[in-house]
Amino acid sequence: MVHTPLDELQQALPECVSRAPDDLARYSRDTGPQLQTVLPSAVIHARTVEDVQAVMQWATRHRVPVVSRGAGSGLSGGAHATEGCVILSLELMNTILGINPDDETAVVEPGVINADLNTAAAQHGLMYAPDPASYRWSTIGGNVATNAGGLRCAKYGVTRDSVLALKVVLADGTLISTGHSTFKGVAGYDLTALMTGSEGTLGIVVQVTVRLRYLPQDVHTLAAFFDDFPRAAAGVLAIGRARVQPSILELLDGRTLEALDGVHGSDLRQRGGSLLLVRTDGYGAAAEAEAIRTVLVGLGADVTREGSDEADRLVDLRRHSRGDDVDDLFRVGEDVAVPKSRLVDYVEALEAMAERHSVHLKIVAHAGDGNLHPTFWVARSEGRRAQDRLNEALDESVRLALDFGGTITGEHGVGQYKLRWLAWEQSPAVLELQVRIKEVFDPLGILNPGKAIVA
């Protein structure tokens, strides 16, 4: 006899539903800061599109909130459990359904790991370009949900720029296809882009067709040490003014170098007050690297020798200099973006502000995109009062980014944690449009409620 809605679901999908306390805890959150701890009432491991459809039909019938997730590597709490929800994990839907080497596309289930897709694509001389720091464990579905960025976006664009088509299960269980298997296509509204970055609030992505890019036949990497951050940021602008397009352009401040030295026993901070990492790729990689070297040396940088593999090692270090850590209420990694020309001014304002609030600050930036990840932290031992200072600093850092013509989130998404800032960026009319669009897709409000948009 069926007693509760969850019993009904468990009976329908006995192999998918877990109510084990360990699972509930483990799947209750992603990697973003948690404002409160909420446990889901169940974790559902979907294995097929039909499973997802069955879950959404059930959720619609019983008005149960559904929080979908991939690896849970998100940094904004977009996959945190909310009151009364079930977690719908897509991890087990991890089959690469096809790679089409001549079409330069791949069709994947949402649970495919970003790095696994790249490994498979590489066998055909292809790559999936978006490479968030979490690429070794984050899923393509999660990347789509947050419109994830990464290091190579400087040249190759963000997730949205690589997504051609989606299959999506709507709130009521209906399966739709959006987009096209071709590089170009303009039939109807761009629902693919609308879904990308919507953080599971408009539907559940169950299949993704992506465009692959050519694996570069040559790659050159430079590491340029500068005396201080303003000079390194001037290097970013100078590379731009030389009109050379790096595939990766990462900027690390002195405190980040100190932190890396602390972890890895390196001597980076001794060698400079700021580090610029530059990678070029493709047929022009060598000439581009040489042009960039000339520009940076002219600005007084100490640039690694051609042929040295130190710069490559530093890029790997940079990739993992943040993503491994879980933020909490004492340490928060931010994710704003400003127009490139404002990088120096913004960081200067940020440093003054952090000092005023007695908050620690270190900064890395996807400088080619003007996308900054300042990390603010306070001593855990200081307790609640320090948290307040941290929050004031965070608020002010976001306000400053907006004052400089920027955005509250460059690539991590709004999730739950950044909701408090969204109305600073978007007008009431835009907030209202988003609510009404969500109502079109999710009239009962069961798809990841309280995330991504201000209700």
Which residues between 49 and 68 bind its own copies (CB under 8 A)? none
Region of 135-143, 271-279, 301-309, 430-438 interacting with its own copies (CB under 8 A): 430-438
Nearer to its own copies, 1 or 440 (CB): 440
Confirm or reject binding of residue 455 to its own copies (CB under 8 A).
Answer: no
Q: Angle at CA 10, nearest 5°, toward 6 and 16?
A: 120
Calpha distance 396→406 (Å, rounded)? 13
Site string (435-454) toward its own copies, x via CB under 8 A: -xx--xx----------xx-
- The reply on whether position 370 binds its own copies by CB under 8 A is yes
Residues 6+ apart with CB under 8 A from 43: 17, 18, 19, 23, 24, 26, 27, 86, 87, 89
Total residues binding its own copies (CB under 8 A): 92
What does the angle CA 358 – CA 394 – CA 328 come to, to the nearest 5 degrees?
A: 90
Handedness of CA 229, 399, 431, 439 (dihedral sign): positive
* Assigned token pair, 288: 């581009």
Q: What is the 3-state secondary structure (H, E, C) of 332-399?
A: EECCEECCHHHHHHHHHHHHHHHHHCCCEEEEEEEHHHCEEEEEEECCHHHCHHHHHHHHHHHHHHHH
Among 3, 241, 384, 385, binds its own copies (CB under 8 A): 241
408 interacts with its own copies by CB under 8 A: yes
Q: Quick one: 82 or 100, whose CB is closer to its own copies?
A: 100
Please identify, using beta-carbon distances, which residue of 153 and 386 lies nearer to its own copies.
153
Site for its own copies in 178-207 (CB under 8 A): 178, 180-191, 193-194, 196-198, 202
Contact assessment for residue 269 and residue 259, using Cβ atoms and an 8 Å cutoff: no
Which residues face 331 on adjacent strands? 328, 377
Residue 26 Cβ vs its own copies, minimum distance, rounded to whole Å: 26
Taking only Cα atoms into account, the Rg of the chain, rounded to an integer number of angstroms, comes to: 22
Q: According to the binding rule CB under 8 A, does residue 284 interact with its own copies? A: yes
Amino acid at 308: S
Q: Which of 18, 146, 274, 321 binds its own copies (CB under 8 A)?
A: 146
- Considering only 12, 49, 57, 157, the residue that binds its own copies (CB under 8 A) is 157
Q: Per CB under 8 A, does 142 bind its own copies?
A: no
- Taking CB under 8 A as the criterion, the residue among 32, 410, 449, 450 binding its own copies is 410
- Enumerate residues 306-345 that contact its own copies by CB under 8 A: 337-341
Q: Which range, of 36-44, 270-278, 376-384, 405-413, touches its own copies by CB under 8 A?
A: 405-413
Is residue 109 within 8 Å of residue 91, measured between CB atoms?
A: no
List the one residue from 96, 115, 237, 349 that touches its own copies (CB under 8 A): 237
- Find the binder of its own copies among 10, 31, 105, 256 (CB under 8 A): 105
- Of 16 and 398, nearer to its own copies (C-beta) is 398
Which residue of 24, 46, 153, 276 would you call a contact of its own copies, by CB under 8 A? 153
CB atoms within 10 A of CB 231: 20
Q: Verify binding: residue 73, its own copies, rule CB under 8 A.
A: no
Closer to its own copies by Cβ: residue 43 or 202: 202
* Residue 115 CB neighbour total at 10 angstroms: 15
Closer to its own copies by CB, 284 or 445: give it: 284
For every residue of 262-304, DSSP letters joined together read: HHH---HHHH-SEEEEEEEESTTHHHHHHHHHHHHHHTT-EEP
Q: What phi and psi, each to the nearest 5 degrees, are found at residue 346?
A: -65, -45
